[in-house]
């Protein structure tokens, strides 16, 4: 990926995380990156192409962060706290989870973006699920239901709590809420 493409994606991601993908415009990106709108259209002919590229990049970068947490040493509750810290850091920077912000505009997505979004959620849930399986095996977590359902619930909780904490309570509220959930599972 060349430098211009990377800059375009960086700015588009920041705009999408702050205001949602429908609120970002090629003009805003052009102004921030310092290139003409035609250059952005050269790299991403339609906004849909830009959203798909953002989702794919998110899938890789955050997937790598999550996998590193799973692979790290520590108990399952410790790893859940580290996952929550990734979302807390995003909240601190006023950068909401890209999956969450794009999901909020689901009705405006084309089929390709919808498919990539679904794959990204599925992959993330699969990564989170490994921690819940670890917790059951080491007997450090008491969960009801399947590991997959619990992983999906935790991922959804993190996204929703991040959004709510942005409007009310900030990082401290987010941290208190995530600690309450993780502690309720901890043996």
Q: pLDDT tens across 95-126, in order?
A: 899 999 999 888 888 898 999 999 999 999 99
Residue 70's CATH number: 1.10.357.10
Q: For residue 115, what are the domain limits?
A: 48-185
Biggest CA pair distance of the chain: 57
Per-residue CA distances from 97 to 21, 63, 88, 144 (Å): 12, 13, 10, 26
Which phi and psi (to 5°) does residue 186 adopt?
A: -75, 135
Task: Give the total number of structural domains in the chain.
Answer: 1
Nearest to 181 by CA among 83, 97, 70: 83
Residue 183 has pLDDT above 70, yes or no: yes
Residue 81 has pLDDT above 90, yes or no: yes
pLDDT digits (tens, 9 = 90+) for 119-141: 999 999 999 999 999 999 999 99
Question: Quick one: pLDDT band at residue 1, thresholds 50, 70, 90?
Answer: low
Residue 84 CA to residue 96 CA, distance in Å, equals: 13
């Amino acid at each position: 990926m060349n430098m211009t493409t990377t800059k375009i994606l960086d700015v588009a991601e920041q705009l999408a995380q702050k205001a949602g993908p429908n609120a970002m415009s090629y003009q805003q990106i052009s102004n921030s990156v310092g290139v003409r709108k035609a250059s952005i259209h050269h790299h991403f002919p339609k906004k849909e192409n830009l959203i798909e590229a953002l989702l794919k990049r998110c899938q890789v970068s955050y997937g790598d962060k999550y996998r590193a947490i799973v692979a790290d040493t520590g108990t399952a509750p410790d790893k859940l706290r580290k996952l929550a810290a990734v979302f807390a850091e995003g909240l601190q920077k006023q950068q909401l989870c890209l999956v969450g912000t794009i999901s909020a505009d689901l009705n405006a997505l084309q089929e390709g973006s919808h498919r990539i979004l679904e794959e990204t959620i599925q992959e993330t849930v699969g990564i989170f699920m490994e921690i819940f399986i670890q917790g059951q095996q080491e007997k450090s977590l008491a969960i009801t239901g399947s590991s997959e359902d619990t992983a999906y619930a935790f991922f959804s909780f993190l996204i929703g709590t991040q959004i709510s904490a942005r409007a009310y309570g900030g990082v401290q509220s987010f941290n208190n809420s995530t600690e309450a959930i993780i502690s309720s599972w901890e043996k």
